[in-house]
Amino acid sequence: MLNNHDITDSDEQSKILTWLSPLEPHLGHNDLRTNRVKGVGEWLLSTKEFRSWKHGDGKSESQKAIIFFTGNLGVGKTYIR
């Protein structure tokens, strides 16, 4: 059986989590999946740089760990999978 202290902690935790992330990321993810157009970003997969990264051709472990994309707003980075 829960006591008032447990309910208060749970309510407080819920309020804090809502304050930290009011965006509900799962909704954004589902929206992106629904709106993704087939073939977006396919060009990227065939570039020399991507293939080198994917196959671990870097000189050190740190070069293989992360790939970083930059680009202007609205160019489709989010939709690349």
Are 50 and 80 found together in one domain? Answer: yes
pLDDT in tens, 17-33: 888 877 777 787 888 88
pLDDT at 7 over 70: no
Are 10 and 43 found together in one domain? Answer: no
30 assigned to some structural domain: no
Residue whose C-alpha is closest to residue 80's, from 34, 28, 30, 45? 45
Instruction: Round to whole Å and give the CA distance between 80 and 21.
Output: 24
1 assigned to some structural domain: yes
Residue whose C-alpha is closest to residue 81's, from 51, 46, 36, 49? 36
pLDDT at 63 over 70: no
31 assigned to some structural domain: no
Are 21 and 55 found together in one domain? Answer: no
Are 44 and 19 found together in one domain? Answer: no
Total domains in the chain come to 2
pLDDT at 1 over 50: no
User: What's the full length of the chain, in residues?
Assistant: 81
The token pair that represents 44 in the structure block: 């990227």
Residues in Cβ contact with 71 at an 8 Å cutoff, skipping those fewer than 6 apart? 77
Domain span at 18 = 1-25
Are 40 and 18 found together in one domain? Answer: no
The amino acid that residue 54 corresponds to is K
